[in-house]
């Protein structure tokens, strides 16, 4: 476990909470001290859920450590069952509770409750949140969907509509609710019925019905793949491998689900969203070739890299993930672009990589949003962890054809805003656009005299070596460069001057550097 100011994932018991909160009649009893109840705020304040998570804490205190904490857990378990009457219960320990070694699984078995009790062994000091969510969902499926003597499915009965399950969506997931709605609609358009969505919105009885479907749609491998593999081994249910993010991937997804459903292939849709036309339009030619850095969970990072390069025409200059369990897919995607994948959960490593890559756009998490803001780079959020503004009230999926439209709006917006700010900067001295001019609807603009802002005479270089200065005319010319590439221009010019031993950067030096790096 690493001590850090920011973290991409919480401990694994938070992942278990995401699964329990997503379901309708499952309750989680967590052996934890009072301080670990902070996790409730993730759901009520960030995701803005109307109800607190279905979690009961033992909330032992320091003075309890000298007494029988096992008895405290057992009484908490029994009272939680009596109060909430769930169809199934989860039991486990937080990272602090794990140190006490009270064995919640054994205590729960001894309690002999009249409902299924599923023990969770989540090593808090070796694993993290997404793994915890995946393991929890797997244990729930393994315990509740197991059937004695059931043969693997041999195919759907003649005449019945093809039926599938959607696996992987949880509470506190990035746009999971809207993704499920979009993919359900897409499946229905293709004549495929959705039997169960799990864990989001599922009951314990729904989990027991999972084997009745013909195949599974796996939307989030970090959470649902382990359960999907178990269902395939046990009941012969195949599952999808294409994540439908972007127009190209959505078309491939449709072809895959139709194949699994035994339906004939269809020609590509002509109404596959507006992204293809927008990316070919005159307005977007300014965006072609923009340098982009991608970081997030593996599912969204790999998908974003593909969409950015194949559908937006961006140049990928960095790709990484904090999901170590899914790192192989990210490494393969990065290698295909001639890059070395960044696999880390240290935000300082990510910040350094972004600064070195000098992108014009960052696609990342809430952490990368802060990093990009400090570096003066545009950023769009594509993956958890996210903040409250990334749980919008409006319908805003990331998957499917409508999700591709959302990607266009959210990814291009930071670049378009950069262009607008550049235009404002270009016309700042014009009497019509001056900050001191009267509003245009009141008549001709009138410039109000004001004291000119003092220009800094010197600007020391941050690099080691002799101090160099920027002349006033060079500094003024630099300000005419769009702000989202100005930092790169400044850095290149300073490096150009340093290599030639120039103590002062003049207007001529700036032009020479521009010509040098344009070759």
Fold of 163-261: Rossmann fold (3.40.50)
pLDDT tens digits for 231-262? 999 999 999 999 999 999 999 999 999 999 99
Q: What is the pTM of this model?
A: 0.81
Which has the minimum average pLDDT: 158-172, 173-187, 505-519?
Answer: 505-519
pLDDT at 488: 77
Which has the minimum average pLDDT: 143-147, 274-278, 372-376?
Answer: 274-278
Strand segments (E) across 328-376: 342-343, 361-364
pLDDT at 441: 47
The answer, yes or no, to whether residue 174 has pLDDT greater than 90, is yes
Q: 398: how many CB neighbours lie within 10 A of its CB?
A: 27
Q: How confident is the model at residue 432 (pLDDT cuts 50, 70, 90)?
A: low
264-303 burial, b for 16+ CB within 10 Å, e for fewer? eeeeeeeebbbbbebbeeeebeebeebbbbbbbbbbbbbb
Q: How do 117-119 and 88-93 pair as beta strands?
A: parallel
pLDDT at 36: 76
The answer, yes or no, to whether residue 294 has pLDDT greater than 80, is yes
pLDDT at 464: 46
Most confident region among 120-124, 263-267, 332-336, 422-426 by mean pLDDT: 332-336
Task: Indicate the helix (H) or strand (E) that contains 57.
Answer: strand 55-57
Helix (H, G, I), strand (E, B) or coil at 175: coil
pLDDT at 418: 52
Q: 191: how many CB neighbours lie within 10 A of its CB?
A: 11
Q: 429: how many CB neighbours lie within 10 A of its CB?
A: 9
The answer, yes or no, to whether residue 497 has pLDDT greater than 50, is yes
C-alpha distance from residue 253 to each of 222, 250, 395 (Å): 18, 5, 21
**For residues 14-32, average pLDDT:** 95
Does 407 appear as a known binding residue?
no
Phi, psi of 387, rounded to the nearest 5 degrees: -110, -175
Per the CB < 8 A criterion, the answer to whether 207 and 198 are in contact is: yes
pLDDT at 463: 47
Q: How confident is the model at residue 484 (pLDDT cuts 50, 70, 90)?
A: low
CATH architecture label of 469-518: Orthogonal Bundle (1.10)
Per the CB < 8 A criterion, the answer to whether 308 and 381 are in contact is: no
Instruction: Pick the closest to residue 337 from 349, 355, 361, 320 (CA basis).
Output: 320
Instruction: Pick the closest to residue 397 from 386, 406, 388, 389 (CA basis).
Output: 406
Percent of the chain with pLDDT over 90: 55
Please state, in angstroms and rounded to a whole number, the distance separating the CA atoms of residues 313 and 307. 9
Q: How confident is the model at residue 446 (pLDDT cuts 50, 70, 90)?
A: very low
In the numeric block, which tokens belong to residue 164?
């599938």
Q: 94: how many CB neighbours lie within 10 A of its CB?
A: 24
User: Which residues are CB-neighbours of 212 under 8 A, at least 6 positions away?
Assistant: 163, 195
Q: How confident is the model at residue 217 (pLDDT cuts 50, 70, 90)?
A: very high
Instruction: Pick the closest to residue 476 from 486, 466, 485 (CA basis).
Output: 486
The answer, yes or no, to whether residue 121 has pLDDT greater than 70, is yes
C-alpha distance from residue 176 to each of 53, 132, 384 (Å): 17, 17, 11
Residue 407: left if φ>0, alpha if ψ -120 to 50, beta else—which one?
Answer: alpha
Q: How confident is the model at residue 429 (pLDDT cuts 50, 70, 90)?
A: low
In the numeric block, which tokens belong to residue 331?
């490494």
All CATH 3.40.50.1980 domain ranges in the chain, comma separated: 12-145, 163-261, 274-415
Strand segments (E) across 223-373: 238-239, 291-296, 315-321, 342-343, 361-364
In the numeric block, which tokens belong to residue 233?
């081994």
Is residue 346 part of the annotated active site? The answer reads no
What's the maximum distance between 2 C-alpha atoms anywhere in the chain? 89
Please state, in angstroms and rounded to a whole number, the distance separating the CA atoms of residues 198 and 136. 12
Residue 313: left if φ>0, alpha if ψ -120 to 50, beta else—which one?
Answer: left
pLDDT at 476: 86
Instruction: Pick the closest to residue 170 from 144, 141, 206, 134 (CA basis).
Output: 134
Which has the minimum average pLDDT: 36-40, 43-47, 335-339, 446-450?
Answer: 446-450
The answer, yes or no, to whether residue 320 has pLDDT greater than 90, is yes
Per the CB < 8 A criterion, the answer to whether 27 and 54 are in contact is: yes
Please state, in angstroms and rounded to a whole number, the distance separating the CA atoms of residues 124 and 81. 25
**For residues 121-148, average pLDDT:** 93
Does 419 appear as a known binding residue?
yes
Please state, in angstroms and rounded to a whole number, the distance separating the CA atoms of residues 44 and 360. 35
Most confident region among 13-27, 44-58, 90-104, 445-459 by mean pLDDT: 13-27
Which has the minimum average pLDDT: 79-88, 104-113, 156-165, 340-349?
Answer: 156-165
pLDDT at 235: 95
In the numeric block, which tokens belong to residue 404?
């591709």
Percent of the chain with pLDDT over 70: 81
Does 443 appear as a known binding residue?
no
Q: How confident is the model at residue 190 (pLDDT cuts 50, 70, 90)?
A: very high
In the numeric block, which tokens belong to residue 418?
């950069």
Q: How confident is the model at residue 151 (pLDDT cuts 50, 70, 90)?
A: low
The answer, yes or no, to whether residue 422 has pLDDT greater than 70, is no
All CATH 1.10.8.550 domain ranges in the chain, comma separated: 469-518
pLDDT at 69: 80
Please state, in angstroms and rounded to a whole number, the distance separating the CA atoms of residues 494 and 461. 8
12-145: CATH, from 2.30.110.10, 3.40.50.2300, 3.40.50.1980, 3.30.43.10: 3.40.50.1980
Q: How confident is the model at residue 284 (pLDDT cuts 50, 70, 90)?
A: low
pLDDT at 34: 76
**For residues 374-400, average pLDDT:** 92
pLDDT at 210: 97
Is domain 274-415 in CATH 3.40.50.1220, yes or no?
Answer: no
């Amino acid at each position: 476990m690493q001590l850090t100011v920011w973290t991409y994932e919480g401990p694994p018991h938070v992942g278990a909470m995401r699964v329990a909160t997503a379901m309708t009649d499952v309750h989680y009893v967590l052996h934890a001290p009072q301080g670990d109840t902070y996790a409730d705020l993730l759901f009520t304040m960030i995701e803005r859920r109307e109800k607190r998570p279905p979690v009961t804490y033992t909330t032992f205190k320091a003075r309890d450590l000298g007494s029988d904490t096992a008895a405290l857990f057992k009484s908490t378990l029994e009272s939680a069952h009596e109060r909430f009457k769930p169809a199934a219960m989860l039991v486990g320990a937080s990272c602090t509770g794990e140190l006490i070694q009270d064995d919640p699984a054994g205590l729960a078995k001894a309690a002999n409750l009249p409902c299924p009790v599923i023990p969770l062994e989540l090593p808090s000091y070796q694993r993290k949140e997404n793994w915890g969510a995946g393991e929890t969902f797997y244990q729930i499926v393994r315990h509740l969907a197991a059937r004695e003597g059931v043969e693997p499915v041999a195919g759907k009965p003649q005449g019945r509509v093809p039926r599938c399950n959607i696996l992987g969506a949880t509470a506190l997931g990035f746009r999971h609710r809207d993704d499920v709605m979009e993919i359900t609609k897409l499946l229905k358009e293709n004549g495929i019925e959705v039997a169960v969505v799990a864990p989001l919105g599922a009951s314990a009885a729904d989990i027991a019905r999972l084997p009745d479907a013909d195949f599974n749609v796996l939307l989030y491998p970090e959470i649902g793949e382990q359960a999907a593999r178990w269902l395939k081994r046990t009941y012969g249910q195949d599952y999808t491998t294409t994540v439908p993010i972007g127009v190209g991937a959505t078309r491939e997804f449709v072809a895959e689900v139709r194949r699994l459903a035994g339906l004939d292939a269809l020609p590509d849709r002509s109404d596959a969203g507006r992204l293809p036309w927008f990316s070919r339009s005159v307005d977007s030619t300014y965006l072609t070739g923009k340098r982009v850095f991608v970081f997030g969970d593996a599912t969204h990072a790999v998908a974003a890299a593909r969409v950015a390069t194949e559908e937006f025409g961006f140049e990928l200059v960095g790709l990484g993930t904090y999901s170590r369990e899914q790192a192989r897919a990210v490494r393969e995607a990065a290698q295909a672009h001639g890059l070395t994948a960044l696999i880390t959960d240290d935000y300082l490593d990510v910040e350094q990589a972004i600064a070195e890559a000098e992108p014009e756009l960052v696609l990342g998490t809430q952490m990368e949003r802060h990093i990009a803001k400090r570096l003066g780079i545009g950023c769009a959020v594509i993956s958890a962890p996210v903040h409250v503004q990334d749980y919008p009230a409006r319908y805003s999926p990331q998957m499917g054809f409508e999700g591709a439209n959302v990607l266009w709006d959210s990814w291009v917006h930071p670049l378009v805003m950069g262009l607008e700010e550049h235009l404002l900067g270009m016309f700042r001295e014009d009497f019509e656009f001056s900050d001191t001019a009267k509003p245009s609807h009141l008549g001709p603009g009138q410039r109000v005299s004001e004291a000119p802002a003092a220009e800094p005479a010197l600007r020391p270089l941050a690099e080691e070596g002799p101090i160099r200065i920027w002349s006033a005319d060079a500094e003024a010319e630099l300000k005419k460069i769009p702000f989202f590439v100005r930092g790169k221009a400044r850095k290149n010019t300073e490096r150009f001057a340093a290599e030639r031993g120039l103590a002062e950067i003049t207007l001529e030096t700036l032009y020479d550097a521009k010509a040098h790096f344009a070759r």
